[in-house]
């Protein structure tokens, strides 16, 4: 009996090691939900080696240089709740660049705000047309989701290029990342976030302010939702106080410039080969 139990334990350990060693490369469409160990006391957030390796393979980002007090401000815009104008006013007043990841619904219902984003120097990123779980759609559907956002943005703003993607709900896979890469996109996740999107559970500007300041770190990529009243009311104080701490707000183009350039060069070379 003891011998049988020993064999079962050994078999279980071997199975655990085998399963644990299977990487996302082995299952290219294994859904991955973005997550990380939150930053504290200025120590940057960490996603872990497996996630870091996946992002590196696909030229993706979730934070910048931990030795530089740079901050990258990003917003997800699925729909409008009346606060984006205030956010834009603050960004303009404080001369801070940002990236807004928009959906098809946002583009169709808020064309004036999208035009203003571009006019005032901000970047518009791709958050997909219908906001689906991209790991659950076909290759063709995924490309269509991205292309429709790009085309509508160009129609509204005249901007022909769209470089950045943030997958809905932070769900992705090796397959979806590779497909988006082929379309010329750089994935941008985040290293600072909190529960700010529930419009019926807003807790006041101080809640937003405290969550941001508690997690801030050099190289932080902030994810905020413009549907949040808390965020809109806290943003000016956040920006001013972080500037006082020596932080500089930069564009995603500053973060990804080399990567974007390298990928475009690689894609051009591949086209010549084909």
Determine which one of 70, 76, 196, 230 is catalytic. 76
Can you give the residue range of the structural domain that contains 178? Answer: 52-268
pLDDT in tens, 128-138: 999 999 999 99
Determine which one of 70, 122, 225, 230 is catalytic. 225
pLDDT at 266 over 70: no
**Percentage above 70 pLDDT, the chain:** 84
pLDDT at 263 over 90: no
Residue 16 lies in a domain: no
The reported pLDDT for the residue numbered 30 is 86
Residue 28 lies in a domain: no
Residue 96 lies in a domain: yes
pLDDT in tens, 35-83: 999 999 999 999 999 889 999 999 999 999 999 999 999 999 999 999 9
Residue 91 lies in a domain: yes
pLDDT at 262 over 90: no
pLDDT at 5 over 50: no
Q: Is 76 a catalytic residue?
A: yes
Count of the separate structural domains present in the chain: 1
User: What CATH code is carried by the domain that includes residue 135?
Assistant: 3.20.20.370
The reported pLDDT for the residue numbered 188 is 98
Between 260 and 51, whose confidence is greater?
A: 51
Between 7 and 226, whose confidence is greater?
A: 226
Residue 25 lies in a domain: no
pLDDT at 109 over 50: yes
pLDDT at 144 over 50: yes
- DSSP line for 110-144: -HHHHHHHHHTT-EEEE--SS---GGGS-HHHHHH
Cα–Cα distances (Å) from 2 to 6, 16, 243, in that order, read 6, 21, 65
Residue 33 lies in a domain: no
Q: Is 187 a catalytic residue?
A: no
Residue 243 lies in a domain: yes
Do 179 and 143 contact (CB within 8 A), yes or no?
yes
At residue 162's C-alpha, the angle toward residues 115 and 59, to 5°, is 140
pLDDT at 234 over 50: yes
> Residue 62 and residue 256: Cα distance in Å, rounded?
11
The reported pLDDT for the residue numbered 3 is 46
At residue 23's C-alpha, the angle toward residues 182 and 25, to 5°, is 25
pLDDT at 265 over 70: no
Residue 22 lies in a domain: no
Q: Which two tokens stand for residue 104?
A: 């098809």
pLDDT in tens, 7-36: 433 333 222 222 333 344 556 778 888 999
pTM of the model: 0.85
């Amino acid at each position: 009996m003891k011998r049988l139990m020993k064999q079962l334990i050994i078999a279980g350990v071997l199975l655990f090691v085998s399963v644990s060693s299977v990487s996302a490369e082995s299952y290219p469409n294994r859904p991955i939900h973005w997550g990380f160990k939150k930053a504290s006391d200025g120590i940057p957030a960490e996603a872990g080696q497996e996630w870091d390796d996946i992002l590196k393979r696909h030229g993706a980002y979730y934070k910048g240089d931990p030795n530089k007090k740079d901050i990258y401000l990003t917003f997800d815009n699925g729909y409008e709740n009346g606060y984006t104008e205030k956010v834009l006013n603050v960004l303009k007043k404080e001369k801070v660049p940002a990236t807004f990841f928009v959906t098809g619904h946002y583009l169709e219902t808020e064309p004036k705000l999208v035009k203003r984003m571009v006019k005032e120097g901000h970047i518009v990123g791709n958050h997909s047309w219908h906001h689906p779980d991209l790991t659950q759609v076909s290759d063709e559907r995924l490309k269509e989701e991205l292309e429709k956002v790009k085309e509508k943005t160009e129609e509204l703003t005249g901007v022909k290029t769209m470089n950045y993607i943030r997958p809905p709900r932070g769900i992705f896979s090796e397959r979806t990342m590779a497909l988006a890469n082929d379309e010329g996109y750089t994935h941008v996740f985040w290293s600072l976030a909190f529960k700010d999107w529930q419009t019926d559970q807003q807790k006041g500007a101080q809640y937003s302010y405290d969550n941001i300041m508690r997690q801030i770190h050099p190289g932080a990529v902030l994810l905020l939702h413009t549907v949040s009243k808390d965020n809109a009311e806290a943003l000016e104080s956040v920006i001013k106080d972080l500037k006082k701490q020596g932080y500089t707000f930069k564009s995603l183009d500053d973060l990804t410039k080399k990567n974007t350039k390298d990928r475009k060069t690689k894609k051009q070379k591949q086209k010549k080969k084909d």
